Structure formats: structure tokens, C-alpha cells
Amino acid sequence: MPIIPTTEITPPAPPPGAPRSRGSTDEGVFDDARTYYTADERHLNTRAGARTRTYSQNSLFKQMERMGLKEPYRRGSHDESTIPHSRRFLIQVEPTLQSLQSQEDTDGNMQITIEDNGPKVLTLRTAASNGHNRFDIRGTYMLSNLLQELSLAKEYGRKQIILDEARLNENPVNRLSRMIRDHFWEGLTRRIDASSIEIAARDPKDWTDDPRPRIYVPRGAPEQYEYYTKVAEERPELRLDVQLLPEKITPELVRDMNSKPGLLAVDMEEEVDPKTGKKTLKGRPFVVPGGRFNELYGWDSYMESLGLLVHDKVDLAKSMVQNFCFCIKHYGKILNATRSYYLCRSQPPFLTDMALRVYDKIKHEPGALDFLRTSILAAIKEYHSVWVAEPRLDPVTGLSRYRPEGLGVPPETEAGHFVHILEPYVKKHGCTFEEFVEGYNSGRIKEPELDDYFMHDRAVRESGHDTTYRFEGCCADLATIDLNSLLFKYETDIARTIRNVFHDKLVIPAEYCVGSMEPNHVEASAIWDRRAKRRKLAIDKYLWNEQEGMYFDYDTANRKQCSYESATTFWALWAGVASPKQAAAMVTKALPKFEAVGGLLSGTEESRGEIGLERPNRQWDYPYGWAPQQILAWTGLYRYSFTEEAERLAYKWLFMITKAFVDFNGVVVEKYDVTRPIDPHRVDAEYGNQGLDFKGVAKEGFGWVNASYVYGLQIVNAHMRRALGTLTPYETFIKAVEENKAKALAELV
């Protein structure tokens, strides 16, 4: 064994706001992994004299057991009790990692969970005794944290480390918050420029015979076209295909582009190349939903921005707003995602709230007012050209629908996704599957029923709720409570901002004019106030159900209110469209239908109906819960002063995530089965669950779940946060609170 050099060190200070474990006096214990594992001096030991060998943890014990020997008894770590810092371990990374895996990871998935059958104890050597004393690490949580820390240490090239015990028994709420802040956001951050174009412009969904990186640049960004063309010329090995989009984007154009799918350019900023001193372009960063994505997504980005702002990553949230403004300016809408086959399709609109939250953080900075002006101008353009225009506007009710344009079969789905739908038509026309799809997409084969099916399918995807029985076969005809709540929020946000920030006079420049607007047209708040009032009246008339105490979608084709009970009813609280009386009715009548052990259900079991082989689970139905539904409900309940309900729902959601994080090796996933107390991350739905596929240590979590966690911690009170750290179920917590209240009252009598 090599001799361990010995040097005394003082670790660097942690970043501001870093969580600390009780009793720890050491600085830098909770540094991010890069800082913690790349500081050489941190991992050199000085606690005892020089030694001639280093134990590789359990291996020595096993040798002594085979020889029938007992190691001389030592006083454990008592001789370290006077040392003024928490316990540290002297660890050789690779041998310990192998020993840990072979002993504890019994199912071989490079994770240590409550389902592994190992002894759940591993002995480590203490640094203060120079490796002579040993200490047992026990339980799934500490062992899985050890696996994660060793995986990170190995990744940063460390052969041996001195590991603080506080990183193993860290309060799980602090640990997960820290992982999100220091690792997950970074793991999900992308930018589109020369540094990443080779990977980002490749599409894992590319179905063509010659998949290659390709980027489409809008006509209005010639500097980007020049930039990417130069990249392609200078690096021919990339085979980068740079395409300039035509001025007008039509469904026919998008359909014809499907043989050459590609990434869409997003916003860039000028910078000076430090090597050459010349000006160049650099992509504005953004956060993607999960690690396999490289494109900018619509409503995911809003939810992620809420978490970014909690962690003071304001520049990143601001950059995402700027990317959205670029999309509206050049593509006409905030896209479902920035790939060519999404050019006709948007997603739930959240731009005004997102921009106002960022502005609130930066309003003291130079350029903040211009940032807000551009954001509001973009939102006005999107509002008029997308949401209150054909085909999305229903002229009878004045309400809006998810109803994107498009032709043919959505190309981005899995290969067999539509086989069962298309096979009867294939037989009818007596051709191969491929021949039928090509003929139908090109318009040579006419099938009106199929046109309707795919119109509704595209609408489901635009809604963000793909897929659910709520929308099956009818989505494009529905004036939904979610979309109309968001548009009411647009109307009230724009009115308030024009009035309070721009002195009731907002000038519309040419590039943001839409419809009959002339350049330099002036917008005032009054018209936006009237639009909001009209929408509220229509929502009350068509979507509110007094008897049920909740909002329902309205079928504009059959002119009747739907009956599917959806958690999106609470979006009306978030947007402020509900009256106090309606809000109270929702809390009394609707909330109990959606509340489960892990938070809010997407929909009720009764609305979903029976499932089986012919009618499988849909991921936006019962029993699944999703981060956006939780976030908007908490915020809405708080808005109407239903503080106790908001805290309770937030606690249940946070508890479920924290418990899964503790029990299953740090897992954070896209969605949860909120009816399962033990393993809620296990779901049985058509798209599986992103965030499960990692080895050793999770690097990304999932964007809007990360955000819901740190945002939810702002909702619950300090007492609740402490209880979460001890994994106290809500029922146990509230019982203790009530008992304490009763005791306090009794003492007053």
C-alpha cells in the first residue's frame, strides 16, 4: 500500500447560503463536488504520524476473518472526541467503491436502495486516527450517499479522499436542495453555438436515412446564418447542414421539412473572442427538461425559472425569457420545443409572469426596463397572432383552444406509436405502411377522419398534457380552463405593466406589430382590462360549475360543458380569475377529490375510468401527479389566503420526493404516482419516467421537479421544513402540532 502524505489544511469557505449540518464547525464541508474533489490539499491527512500502509476499508477485515484472527480492540473514535471538527474518513476510492458495490448493490444497478439486500453496513477508517480506527456507516441513506460521493470522487480523478461524514448523514432536505443548486441546474443547462452544435443539432428522434446535425436559422437573423455557415466551413467533419428558413412558415413547409429535421436557432449575444480579440456570437443559455434534451422547451422553462430564481440564478432565467422573445419575433410563437417539426405548435403560455418575476429581481440594473418592454411586446404579439386568432379562437364563446396547424402524422413520435391507428387505413388502401404514410402526408391520400384524429393529437401535444383521456379525440375542440386562465393572466399582467411601469403608454415597433397594427401604435391599459373582464365573464358562463364547485373544459363543437375533473381547475386561482366565493367552493368541494398521499392528482379516478389492456394508463391521468399542477395550486391557494391548504399540499409533495430521494439513491424523476407511499417514482404509463437512468449519482434530476422542490420549500413553514428533514409523514406531523396546541391551550386555562 502507498504511504499517505500528511499535510494540515484549512478547507475553503462554502458559497453563501450553503446548508450546514448541526454540530459541524468545518468550512467547505458542503462545497459542490468540483470544488470539494479538485482541491488536492483537502484530501491530504495530518491527524496522525506517518504510516506505512493504507487499509482499503473492508478488505483487511475479510483477510483477518479468513485467517481466523481478530483485530486488536481500539477505543473506536473516543480518542477523536476532542478534535474540534466533525468526523472524517480516510478512503481509497476504487477499492472502497468496489467493496461497497459488491456488498450492498445486490441487484447490480449501480444504486443502493431499500430494495437491495446487503447488510446495510460498511466500515470506514477515520482520518483523525490516520486510518487505524474504524467507524460503521449504516443504513440505505448513508450508504447510497457514500456511493454517490465515491462516484463523484472517481469522476474527478481522485484515488484517495478524506471524506466528511457530514456529507453522508446530511439532512436530506439540505442535500437535495444543494444537489439541485450545485449540480442539477448545471447538468440541464445548454447553449447553442459552435461549442455544442455537433451534439445539440443531432436529434435522437431523427428518423431519416442520413441523420446528421442540422440547424435552421430564421431570415431575420442573418448574422447567425453567417456564423453557422462559417462553423460548417471550418469544421467539415461535423457535416453540419445550415438551412435558412423562408420568410413565411406554413404547415406545408413544415411537413416538407420532415425529411430534413433539424434544430431551430435561438438567441445569441455578441462577445469578444479572448484568443483572437474579434467579435463573435455566443448562444444564450437555457435549461432543458431532462438530460437527453438539447432544445428549448415551452412551459417546462417557466416552471424551471421559478426554481432558478429561488437559487438566485437570475441571469439564466433572464436568458430563457430572451430566448422566448427571439422565438416569438422570428417563429411567431413560443414553440413546443425548438425543433423544425414543432414550428406550428406552441405550449401553455407563461411569458408575462416569467418576465415580471425576472424583472422584479433585476429592476435596479441597467437595461432592465428594455428587457421588460421587449418581453411585454413579444407577449402582445403572441397573444394576438397565436391565442386569439384562427384556428385557436372560438368566435362563439370568445374563449381559446389548443388547436395548432399541421399536416400528416406527427413525425417525432416513437416508430410504432400510431400503428394501431393507421393499420385499418393501410389495409383499406392495399399498400404498405410506409406507402400509406407517405401518400397521406403528401395529400395524395385523403382521409378526413384521420385528419380529425391528428388535429386533436397535435392539440394534445400543444396543451403540454400528452397524453390523457381528458383530451382523447376532442382536444382541439375544447376551451380549457388551463389555457383560458393563462390568457386571463396575460391580459391582467399586460394591463398592469403598461399602467404601472410604462405610464399607460406602450409604443409598438414594426417588428412586433400584428394584424391591423401600424408601426408606433400605442397600447394603453384600458383595452387589456376590458379583455380580461370579457374573458372572466366567458369563463364563468361556460367553464364554471356551481354545483361541483370547480371549473370544467367546454366543448366548442358540441356546445356543452365537459365532465372530466382536472387539477387544472386550480389554475384559475393562480391566475386570479376566480372570485373569493368560487375559490372557497373549490377548496371545499374540489380539493378533496384531488388530494392524495403525495400531493395533487392530475385528475380523478372516476374521470379516468377503467383501464386495462385495451385502455392503458395515460400519464396525465390518475394516479399521477406532476410538478406544474402542484406549483400552480400552491401559488393559487396562497393568493386567496388558503395558507394551510397550500402548506399541506406542498408538504405532501415535498415529503414524497424527499423519501424517494432517501430510499432510492437520490432519484428525482419527471412524474410521480402520488398514491404510492413506498416507491412513487415507479410509474406505469406510455412514456415511462425520465430521471431513473443514472449510475452511481444523479446529475440532473428533472427540470420542473427540481424547481417544484426548491419553490415548495418557500411555501412550507420552518417547522414543516424541519419535519421534512426527519422524514415525518404529514399525518404524524400534524398530529404532533395539534397535540402541542392542545397542550399550550391547557396550560393557559
Between CA 366 and CA 361 the distance in angstroms is 12
Residue 19, Cβ density class (10 Å: 0-12 exposed, 13-18 middle, ≥19 buried): middle
Look up residue 628 and give its three cell numbers: 406544474
Amino acid at 143: L
Amino acid at 108: G
Asked if 605 contacts 631 with a C-beta cutoff of 8 angstroms, the reply is no
Q: Which residues, in sequence order, are CB contacts of 68 under 8 Å at separation 6+?
A: none
Between CA 439 and CA 433 the distance in angstroms is 10
Between CA 643 and CA 634 the distance in angstroms is 9
Between CA 176 and CA 170 the distance in angstroms is 10
Question: From the candidates 182, 295, 670, 673, which is the catalytic residue?
Answer: 670
Q: Which residues, in sequence order, are CB contacts of 668 under 8 Å at separation 6+?
A: 176, 180, 184, 657, 660, 661, 691, 698, 701, 702, 705, 706, 709
Three-class HEC string of 135-158: EEEEHHHHHHHHHHHHHHHHHCCC
Between CA 649 and CA 501 the distance in angstroms is 35
Between CA 249 and CA 400 the distance in angstroms is 22
Q: Which residues, in sequence order, are CB contacts of 596 under 8 Å at separation 6+?
A: 623, 625, 652, 674, 675
CB atoms within 10 A of CB 334: 29
466 is catalytic: yes
Residue 54, Cβ density class (10 Å: 0-12 exposed, 13-18 middle, ≥19 buried): buried
Q: Is the peptide bond before 348 cis (omega within 30 degrees of 0)?
A: no
Between CA 595 and CA 592 the distance in angstroms is 5
Look up residue 623 and give its three cell numbers: 394516479
Q: Is the peptide bond before 509 cis (omega within 30 degrees of 0)?
A: no
Between CA 451 and CA 469 the distance in angstroms is 19
Q: Determine if residue 54 is left, alpha or beta; phi over 0 gives left, psi from -120 to 50 gives alpha, anything else beta.
A: beta
Q: Which residues, in sequence order, are CB contacts of 88 under 8 Å at separation 6+?
A: 126, 127, 128, 162, 163, 164, 165
Asked if 22 contacts 165 with a C-beta cutoff of 8 angstroms, the reply is no
Identify the DSSP state of 517: P
CA angle 331, 334, 339 (to 5 degrees): 65
Between CA 698 and CA 680 the distance in angstroms is 17
Identify the DSSP state of 339: B
Amino acid at 122: L
What are the φ/ψ torsions at residue 82 (nearest 5 degrees)? -90, -5
Three-class HEC string of 597-639: CCEECCECHHHHCCCCCCCCCCCCCCCEECHHHHHHHHHHHHH
Question: From the candidates 466, 595, 647, 673, which is the catalytic residue?
Answer: 466
CB atoms within 10 A of CB 62: 11
Look up residue 704 and give its three cell numbers: 420542473
The alpha-carbon radius of gyration of the chain (Å, integer) is: 28
Between CA 112 and CA 104 the distance in angstroms is 7
Residues annotated as part of the active site: 466, 670
